[in-house]
Amino acid sequence: EIIVFIMAGGLGKRLRPLTNKIPKPLVTVGSKPIIKILVEKFRQSGFLNFFISVFFKSSDIKKSLGYGDKNYTIKYIEEQNPLGTAGSLSKIKKTNLKGPIIVINADILTNIDFNELLNYHKVNNSDITVCVRQYSLNIPFGVVKSENKKISIIDEKPNKNFFVNAGIYVLEKKIVQKLQNNKKIDMPDFINSLVKKKKVLSFPIFEDWHDIGEIKELIEVRKLYSKNH
């Protein structure tokens, strides 16, 4: 059975003062905490086996989400000290992992089809699949390109497009086994250590995607949600 691993241990510094009293995953959109919306979305897609890594105000998160019921289970991974966005995964190495693990940050709301993501991962025999989305950057100046003081071109107000990490991953269980126990490591560093040896693919997201890391983003998402729900 596929495991969904939700990382909910962060301090939510960028959302202060909101997160002085409540942990970031419990910040509400509509009338629901973000993490509840996320769990419900996974359940609607047929995923019923959850692990949630918690650290900051962990008892609040447990109280809000509970432990599931006869239809689905939620287990909590307690971080004694922050382990980064990949380190906490080492705590499920001894669990009876059968299939790939979907890993997602707790502050993400998205309409991506998780079954499609899993299918892409399997069909391409990927070891790690990283969801990416397009990010455009407008440079409001003329970019001067030169070599040895000699200007080759002035590129006026260029628009640069990048693919950026969307905070959603699929990992094969053998990859999770590579994590050192209780060692702090973030997902980008962990993935960078494996890109040469393993098959690491990107999965572009074109659906709605919001990382509720900052107040500005939260206000925007709340507006969207009040329109659509």
Do 51 and 92 touch, CB atoms closer than 8 A?
yes
Q: How much is the pLDDT for 19?
A: 59
The label of the residue with tokens 């995964």 reads 89
Q: How much is the pLDDT for 6?
A: 93
CA angle 180/185/189 to nearest 5° reads: 110
CA angle 43/163/206 to nearest 5° reads: 45
Give pLDDT tens digits along the chain (229 positions): 788 999 887 666 666 666 567 777 888 888 888 889 899 999 999 999 999 988 777 778 888 888 878 888 899 988 777 777 788 888 877 777 778 999 999 888 888 999 999 999 999 999 999 999 998 999 999 999 999 889 999 999 989 899 999 999 999 988 888 888 778 888 899 999 998 999 999 999 988 888 877 777 788 788 877 666 5
Closest CA to 89 of 99, 98, 79: 79
Long-range pairs, 217-224, Cβ under 8 A, ≥24: 218/15, 218/18, 218/27, 218/29, 221/29, 221/109, 222/29, 222/30
Whole-number Å distance between alpha carbons of 78 and 52: 9
Whole-number Å distance between alpha carbons of 119 and 12: 32
Q: How much is the pLDDT for 227?
A: 66
Q: How much is the pLDDT for 216?
A: 77
Q: How much is the pLDDT for 122?
A: 95
